[in-house]
Amino acid sequence: MAKDIDWGSLAFGYIKTDKRYVSNFKNGEWDEGTLTEDNTVVLNECAGVLQYAQTCFEGLKAYTTEQGKVVVFRPDLNAQRLADSARRLECPVFPEDRFVDAVVKTVEANLEFVPPYGSGATLYLRPYLFGSSEVIGVKPATEYQFRLFATPVGPYFKGGVRPLTLRISDLDRAAPNGTGHVKAGLNYAMSLYNIVDAHNQGYDENLYVDAKTRKMIEETGGANIIFITKDNKVVTPKSDTILPSITRRSLMYVAKEYLGLEVEERDVMVSELGDFAEAGLCGTAAVISPVGKIVDHGEEICIPSGMEGMGPITQKLYDTLTGIQMGRIEAPEGWIKIIK
């Protein structure tokens, strides 16, 4: 039985659901984990996460398919990525099979919050991991907590699709050999100033370039970018400092294997932005958000697909991937984890 929620008007925000999953790491091992109704975290004032930002996170969605099944999309890849992030931040890895099990348990415990098929809303899942024991000298914590909560979120394109305006950023998101490739809270903390500034200047997002040469496109603060060439190739930047988006990787696969398009992961130069026919940001929240305009220090680069909606190839990619997610199109082996 679904809760009495107006799914269509939900924002992307936090709503307390019934249960969340918690496991603690102490004396070198993770405990068995449990579901709890308590949505608060009580920490020592000197906890590693509070002092030195030792934390990483994930984001994925549970939703109802056309067949009425409650599913999640490729949670094994989120498990892997959290493990990679944990290793880079010197946190203990939460075992990947246990991560998927925690996803299943949390969704099962909050089934009433899974929006119905066709509502456009989803149950957003937020797994995260942080240093919970006290640390004053700079070193990793000795105790950690893994948590996973769920919150229902509304359809991303509520008032219809609105192409975004990006600005090429002067501030950097990721240093060469830094932490751009892991999903660490620290990458977001330091992006807040820039996103607030971008919004104040009338832009939707910052488009970051590589910090070394400042000539190549990387991604925005929270989404990867894909481009469509005038001859219908799907191009995405290749860089070690980009966060490996599961949505982007899935879209590239769909482009090649479902739509028969040529795909390229390669350097994308700022100087070639004017050559593309379409552009879109990819991430779990929106799947693809079309980009209508990129502003490079006063120079406006208008993407030919325009400010009215998605370009035709972007639309096909979007329809195919969301079709796979929603059970309308057959999914590649292992992409859809059925919960109920």
User: Binding residues for ligand PLP, per CB under 6 A?
Assistant: 59, 183, 219, 222-224, 243, 245-248, 282-284
Residue closest to 40 by CA, chosen among 124, 112, 145, 111: 145
Question: Looking at beta carbons only, is 25 or 63 nearer to ligand PLP?
Answer: 63
Question: Looking at beta carbons only, is 25 or 204 nearer to ligand PLP?
Answer: 204
Least Cβ distance, residue 207 to ligand PLP (angstroms): 12
Least Cβ distance, residue 45 to ligand PLP (angstroms): 28
Note whether 216 and 269 are within 8 A (CB).
yes
Note whether 91 and 54 are within 8 A (CB).
yes
Least Cβ distance, residue 323 to ligand PLP (angstroms): 17
Least Cβ distance, residue 287 to ligand PLP (angstroms): 8
Other C-beta atoms lying within 10 Å of the C-beta of residue 303: 25
Q: For residue 152, give both structure tokens.
A: 């229902």
Rg value, the chain, Cα: 20
Distance CA(172)–CA(206), nearest Å, equals 10
Question: Looking at beta carbons only, is 115 or 180 nearer to ligand PLP?
Answer: 180
Residue closest to 124 by CA, chosen among 81, 78, 87: 78
**Catalytic residue ranges:** 183
Residue 22 φ/ψ, nearest 5 degrees: -135, 135
Question: Looking at beta carbons only, is 20 or 183 nearer to ligand PLP?
Answer: 183
